[in-house]
Chains A and B, each alone.
Chain A
Amino acid sequence: MDALPDHMRPERSFQGFILALQRFWAEQGCVILQPYDMEMGAGTFHPATTLRALGPKPWNAAYVQPSRRPKDGRYGENPNRLQHYYQFQVIMKPSPPNLQELYLKSLAAIGIDSAIHDIRFVEDDWESPTLGAWGLGWECWCDGMEVSQFTYFQQVAGVECAPVAGELTYGLERLAMYVQGVDRVYDLNFNGREGAEKVTYGDVFLQAEQEYSRHNFEYADTTMLFEQFRMAEEACRKYLAAGWREGSNSKEHLMALPAYDQCIKASHVFNLLDARGVISVTERQSYIARVRDLAKACGEAWIHTETGRAV
């Protein structure tokens, strides 16, 4: 790589860190996407992962996805828990044979040298009950700290992955804290400048964490949210039903993506309701099952679209 100005170096700035990852994966042939414009709990929900993991066509992509975990809010008082944070997501379908090596090289690209750091692949099977998805893989440890998730998707949205996609998820704040050597997420240097020009993660997000924690735990309008859940569920089903067509020699679907947006919506609304503590243990299971049903129906629609189907 050509020489970077200091403030852009991954160990100096959060943004430089992100750019380094993007650049690395761009060089591996990934399309670099921008975040999906909806609230979601994890980068996996992005249609570029959930839906693109299905069907036989190759797909390599990487992107940052803001992830909302309403329950994890701590009013800005915990040094590493956030209700909004960034995940960096990589998906490669089919999973290349050297995906582990690529991952280790990506760590080197952000300043983690595997000659002096103890990198480990520790069993962690991934399952998303709301997405009807599972895969096998690891949590990746760096000196005892979990820094990434590495998963070979076996099933997504109730559909077998054929071929299997490999998914990498980096917890950006945590990794950047490690690389920058700070113990409090809000102390991360965001822009790599010093003195008066320096902008920290706290400057950007601390107030948001405080306000959203208040919102998520105390004030989020549950009547509205229950209604939104119901509406999203209904809209998802409506769009799915409306999208089916009899194609020339098989059925096809023309509206999988808009339907899936409503599934993402329902999932996030459920997370908010859960954070507000208004969903009992038994109801919880049934809400999760309802979102899963939507995800499965969307997956089924997707594999009948131009992009999702077998050639």
Chain B
Amino acid sequence: MPDLLLELFSEEIPARMQAKAADDLRRMVTDKLVAEGLVYEGAKAFATPRRLALTVHGIPARQPDLKTERRGPKIGAPDAAVQGFLKATGLKSLDEAKIQKDAKGDFYIALIEKPGSAAIDVIAEILPVIIRTFPWPKSMRWGARSAKSGSLTWVRPLHAITATFGLETEEPDVVKFSVDGIEAGQTTYGHRFMAPSAISVRRFEDYGAKLKAAKVILDPQARKDIIVEDAKELAFAQGLELVEDQVLVDEVSGLVEWPVVMMGSFEKEFLSIPDEVIRATIRNNQKCFVVRDPKTGKLTNKFVLTANIEAPDGGKTIIAGNERVIRPRLSDAKFFYETDLKTKLEDRLPKFEQIVFHEKLGTQAARIKRIERLAAEIAPLVGADVEKTKRAARLAKADLLTEVVGEFPELQGLMGKYYALAQGEDASVAAASEEHWKPQGPTDRVPSDPVSVAVALADKLDTLVGFWAIDEKPTGSKDPYALRRAALGVIRLILTNESRLQLGTLFSSALTLLLYFSFRPDLGYPQLARRWSPQVEDGKSEWNDARYLALLDSDGFIARHLEEIGMEQMGNPDLGGDDDREAYDARASAYAEFERRLKHLELVAVHFMFEDAPLEPARTKSAVSNARQQLQSEPFAKLGMDRLATDLGAFLADRLKVQLRDQGARHDLVDAVFSLGGQDDLLLVVRRVEALGKFLDSDDGKNLLAGTKRASNILSIEEKKDKRTFDGAPDAALYKLGEEKALAAAIDQVKAEASAAVAKEDFAAAMSAMAKLRPAVDAFFDKVKVNDDDPKVRENRLKLLNEIRAATRAVADFSRIEG
């Protein structure tokens, strides 16, 4: 069967777009072929900087003929309908139509045979459409034709199209089409500098070979292999080792059609710069590889470059040129590094006062203060030294303001560690600069040093609570602040380090810190209630904002009195006469409550203002902890804090489900545990899920689940029927059968045992206790008719069923378990 060769020859395609473009081309062409009934045998696409190429082999020479039936009007239908049918189907008369019976009567049916077209004609139709609708991330217009609208767009100017179709044994035909003045043909061009002349190609086999002769390696993988192999060999020849870099190989292979690998060097004095900085300089700016000494693992003063030409001087000029570019780059990097070392990390902190982290979450300085305090709360819970943790949190972000990180943002954290070590910080404190950013993704390493763990958790929890408090949660595919990643980070930190944390409390602490360090107006919360005055034109409703309403309006009070509070703040003078007395009082009282709430929020301030004062004997807890408790003493504030904690807890639960599902755990078991409520210790949740999973794999577990489900089903039917629930303890006097009594006794025993085991966090034991319920449940359903004729007995039995449900809740909500 014939093959198709397609090449789109253009000016230089950005390296990062080539792989996807090749893939898109293959997918679009083959999808369309299949849709046209042309099922092919195989296809492969390639990209170089100047061309996209596609070969599709084994395409049938013709489309299959298509037979379709089309239903027409009823026999005896008006002539207009018949004429319309004939016209639409191309039949000459009704004699050519078949007649078909169905329930509604007899109908005309037209049999339409559409003969298949020659594949080459079909391809000539589909290719221009694909070229015009090609999904480049960014495309452009060019040249004289761009004066008119509707001109072709491509990633860069498109110069030539090669398209041939035919059998291996024959001279293939050119697929005849043109796109915006570019005629498809069989002429392409070789390497831009080494073989720029036109080449006539027939089919994929000679195409690849002719390109190779014209110094173009079509297959990106082949170019990558050459680059890696040659680079390794060059390094090896000098007793050195290439620092492999797949991302760089991918990029460099998209910048050359004919890779020529060479080695250059730089002055040894630059080796005083940290290896990572040298690598970033050489890699980011020059797209070159670095080389290490296998004995020490340290970089050497060599680099590997990939040129696009074989130069007559053996590349001497190219190497010299690259060395001349790298030298000032490294010289800049060295200068940056040495300048950075002159300033202590803590001396950089004041500058953070001027840097806004987020308009509503305040400055970076406020953020660092919050993280420091939250990390200090977490430290004892994860076994970290509190003072070291505070120091680590205070310094962890300081390298953001260094010159090297300004130049190479990807080195943030790492540079912080170097600078911290250079100024003599404790090793854990220094390590936290780098590690507190981790884990960055599902496969990134999770830190284990307790100081890093505490700071990493504090950083991520602060971010999560902050964006939750200002109502900037991720929606759908939008997650501009990477909150899903932060949540997954929290989960992985906790599970990997087996940390026991009450997340609900930490959420509330984080919110308390935000309330003081970021949300609080300069003059305090009561300031939000300041009255409007024509002189200062102040008193706008600044309080009407998510970050304040989360607490102020937790019970809907503000929403109910929004207008009254606003009016009162504006001092609207319309009210006055006796008639308005009632409205006036209502307004005043709503406003009084509003002010009272603001004053309550203001109470956080006193705890932090005297944070550093010597501890009185009575004040043994931290400012955060005291402030949080004071806030929670008011129902409106407690409600708001709890709501945020529940909401954010659910978000984390969702991420945990994804995480566990990826590890093969059943997500319904996670639901069954979370639906118990109050599950904010993720480590316990996971342990409970594991125990539950094992239990449900056993016969006891399966049968108990079936029994519980049966009880639940009966209950929900009867509850619906009676429009009531059957809560409350059953009456022992109403038990008529031994199985009832036995079940009641088993429930009591299992409840007590399971609860005790859960209290000891021994979930396996709790499950074993549950197993004891099974024979009693089975026997009950065997022998006892729930819907007894005596309504009292019936009610009592339903209550007993409800008790089964209640007993199982000691370990999980069985109703959420599938199967």
- Chain A residues with CB under 8 Å of chain B are 56, 79-80, 94-97, 100, 114-123, 125, 135-138, 142-145, 152, 154, 161-164, 166, 178, 183, 280-282
Contacts and interface: CB of A to CB of B under 8 A. Distances in A.
Contacts of A280: 354
Given A56-B147, A152-B157, A163-B145, A122 B255 contact: yes
B143 A164 contact: yes
B308 interface: yes
B16 A118 contact: no
A164 B142 contact: yes
Contacts of B141: 152, 154, 161, 163-164
Contact of B321 (A117, A122, A281): A117
Interface string B144-178: 11111100000111010000000000000000000
A142 B305 CA distance: 13
B15 interface: yes
B318 A116 contact: yes
Contacts of B305: 144
B505 interface: no
A80 B140 CA distance: 34
Interface stretch (B240-248, B322-330, B591-599, B746-754): B322-330
B144 A94 contact: yes
Contact of B308 (A79, A118, A125, A145): A118
Nearest to A166: B142
Contact of B286 (A97, A144, A163): A144
B312 interface: yes
B220 to A, nearest CB: 16
Contacts of A56: 147
A163 B146 contact: yes
A116 B148 contact: no
Given A79-B328, A116-B317, A166-B142, 15 more contacts: A95-B143, A97-B157, A97-B159, A114-B193, A117-B317, A118-B309, A119-B308, A120-B256, A122-B255, A123-B16, A143-B324, A163-B146, A183-B324, A183-B327, A281-B356
B281 to A, nearest CB: 12
A222 B664 CA distance: 64
Contact of A162 (B11, B15, B146, B155): B146
Contact of A80 (B14, B155, B328): B328
A123 B49 CA distance: 10
B146 A116 contact: no
A280 B561 CA distance: 39
B325 A162 contact: no
B9 to A, nearest CB: 13
Contact of A154 (B140, B147, B309): B140
B588 to A, nearest CB: 39
A144 B193 contact: no
Nearest to A174: B325
Nearest to A164: B146
Interface string B11-24: 11011100000000
B363 to A, nearest CB: 12
A100 B326 contact: no
Given A136-B156, A144-B288, A152-B140, A118 B318 contact: yes
B240 to A, nearest CB: 20
A136 B324 contact: no
B211 to A, nearest CB: 19
Contacts of A117: 311, 317-318, 321
Interface string B295-327: 000000000010111011100011011101111
A250 to B, nearest CB: 19
Nearest to B148: A162
Contacts of B326: 144
A303 to B, nearest CB: 13
Contacts of B14: 123
A164 to B, nearest CB: 4
Contacts of B321: 117-118, 142-145, 178
A-B pairs, top 5 by smallest CB distance, nearest first, are: A143-B321, A123-B14, A163-B147, A121-B12, A144-B322
Contacts of B143: 94-97, 163-164
Interface in B108-148: 138-148
A185 to B, nearest CB: 11
A115 B309 contact: yes
Interface string B610-635: 00000000000000000000000000
9 contacts: A116-B317, A123-B12, A123-B15, A143-B318, A144-B288, A145-B324, A163-B145, A163-B146, A282-B356
B352 to A, nearest CB: 13
Contacts of A122: 12, 15, 255
A178 B322 CA distance: 11
A27 to B, nearest CB: 21
Interface in B13-42: 14-16
Given A95-B143, A281-B356, A119 B193 contact: yes
Contacts of A162: 146-149
Contacts of B354: 280
Contact of B138 (A136, A138, A163, A166): A136
A198 B728 CA distance: 106
A119 B256 CA distance: 10
B207 to A, nearest CB: 23
Contacts of A79: 328
A166 B11 CA distance: 13
B146 A138 contact: no
Interface string B428-461: 0000000000000000000000000000000000
Interface in B312-359: 312-313, 317-318, 320-322, 324-328, 354, 356
B12 A138 contact: yes
A114 B328 CA distance: 24
Contacts of B193: 114-115, 119
B474 to A, nearest CB: 25
A162 B140 CA distance: 12
Contact of A143 (B159, B317, B356): B317
A136 B140 contact: yes
Nearest to A96: B143
A143 B327 CA distance: 13
B42 to A, nearest CB: 31
Contacts of B256: 120
A145 B144 contact: no
Contacts of A164: 140-143, 146
Which of B193, B286, B356 has the most chain A CB within a 10 Å cutoff? B193
Nearest to A154: B140
Contacts of B325: 143-145
B527 to A, nearest CB: 23
A10 B155 CA distance: 35
A118 B287 CA distance: 13
Nearest to A124: B14
Which of B140, B148, B356 has the most chain A CB within a 10 Å cutoff? B140
Contacts of A123: 12, 14-16
B609 to A, nearest CB: 29
Contacts of B142: 94-95, 152, 164, 166
Contacts of A120: 255-256, 308
B482 to A, nearest CB: 21
A152 B146 CA distance: 11
A121 B16 contact: no
Contacts of B147: 56, 94, 162-163
B325 to A, nearest CB: 4
B15 A135 contact: no
Contacts of A163: 141, 143-147
B11 A116 contact: no
B146 A94 contact: yes
A108 to B, nearest CB: 11
A115 B138 contact: no
Contacts of B313: 116
B343 to A, nearest CB: 18
A114 B356 CA distance: 48
